Amino acid sequence: MSAPERIPPRSVTTAEVLTRGELTVRGQIRDASNAVLQCSVAYDGQEVLCVYKPVRGERPLWDFPDGTLAQREVAAYEVSEATGWGLVPPTVLRDGPYGEGMCQLWIEGAPGSELLALVDAEEPESGWKAIGLAEVGEGRTALLVHADDERLRRLAVLDAVINNADRKGGHLLPAEGGRLYGIDHGVTFNAENKLRTLLWGWAGEPLTGEAVEVLKGLKDALAGQLAARLAGLITPAELDATRARVDALLETGKHPEPSGEWPAIPWPPV
């Protein structure tokens, strides 16, 4: 009699660990504007570190509905996944020690090439893109630049789609293996144009062929399953505005430029 076939153990995804695992608070990130807690989360023999942002710890904003920032963080992750670029760490909405909130995989930053710099010059050197002039004290200014980096360019496209109102330098996390993640997406998906970012270096330039294909895929996804997932996270007007931004990017074929109706660069920039 032959031995019974051994069924290999099921692989548990990071999203399952974040969603179903037991959250244990390890500490608080003090310099954040909203309540941000570092936690461990354990499930089915796996344990990871994560960021937990409870809705009750969100500071009210005049231009976003109260208690919606956590949902917007999850929506940004869903759109990022639909692009195939994986620019946002796994993010879920779940209950925790302080109520419902956003739970996101903790990314440990890795040292690597510089992404931002201040230079004493009128034009950026090769490999860099100009953002604008910044005051550096005593009446002096310097040119703020970002790297002409494919990863940043993808992130600039994602930010244009999700209408990111707060892409600061501190929200860019280089990770092991050359990966780059963007974090802190609570102020996104507004129906009005709120794009504020440090990644203006490609403003007005043609989108890459890759970006155009990704946007075509997003357009289709926003008519199907992605739209269904976003419908529980943002308002119908915000979902329609997201579709309109994708359509506009495909129609112009270019990276967006500052509108002039809203500060183009977040403050503080880092």
pLDDT at 136: 67
Tell me the pLDDT tens digit for each residue of 53-111: 999 999 999 999 999 999 999 999 999 999 999 999 999 999 999 999 999 999 988 87
pLDDT at 31: 81
Rounded Cα gap, residues 53 and 2, in angstroms: 53
Rounded to an integer, the average pLDDT of 215-223 is: 97
186 has a pLDDT exceeding 60: yes
Closest of 15, 17, 19 to residue 42, by C-alpha: 17
Closest of 29, 41, 71, 65 to residue 170, by C-alpha: 29
Computed over every residue of the chain, the mean pLDDT equals 91
Strand order in the sheet with 99-105: 22-28, 37-43, 46-54, 99-105, 91-96
Give 48's strand partners. Answer: 41
pLDDT at 81: 97
Strand order in the sheet with 128-137: 116-119, 140-147, 128-137
Query: Are 99 and 76 spatial neighbours (Cβ–Cβ below 8 Å)?
Result: no
pLDDT at 265: 86
Q: CA torsion sign, 229 to 68 to 61 to 49? A: negative
pLDDT at 2: 43
240 has a pLDDT exceeding 80: yes
pLDDT band at 134 (very low <50, low <70, confident <90, very high): confident
Query: Are 255 and 204 spatial neighbours (Cβ–Cβ below 8 Å)?
Result: yes
**Does residue 16 sit in helix, strand or coil?**
helix
3 has a pLDDT exceeding 80: no
Phi, psi of 147 (to 5 degrees): -65, 145
pLDDT at 188: 98
Q: DSSP alpha helices (H): ranges in the chain?
A: 14-20, 69-83, 150-162, 209-221, 225-231, 236-252
Rounded to an integer, the average pLDDT of 123-131 is: 92
pTM of the model: 0.92
Residue type, 158: L
Rounded to an integer, the average pLDDT of 206-231 is: 97
Token pair listed for 112: 């690597």
pLDDT band at 270 (very low <50, low <70, confident <90, very high): low
Rounded Cα gap, residues 244 and 148, in angstroms: 27
Rounded Cα gap, residues 144 and 130, in angstroms: 6
11 has a pLDDT exceeding 80: no
Residue 118: which H helix or E strand, with range? strand 116-119
Tell me the pLDDT tens digit for each residue of 17-27: 999 999 999 99
pLDDT at 6: 46
Rounded Cα gap, residues 99 and 260, in angstroms: 39
Query: Are 242 and 159 spatial neighbours (Cβ–Cβ below 8 Å)?
Result: no
- How far is the CA of 108 from the CAs of 169, 175, 179, in angstroms? 16, 7, 11
- Percent of all residues in the chain with a pLDDT value above 70, rounded to a whole number: 93
Q: Find the distance separating the first CA and the last CA of the chain, reported in whole Å.
A: 68
Rounded Cα gap, residues 83 and 75, in angstroms: 13
DSSP code at position 240? H
135 has a pLDDT exceeding 90: no
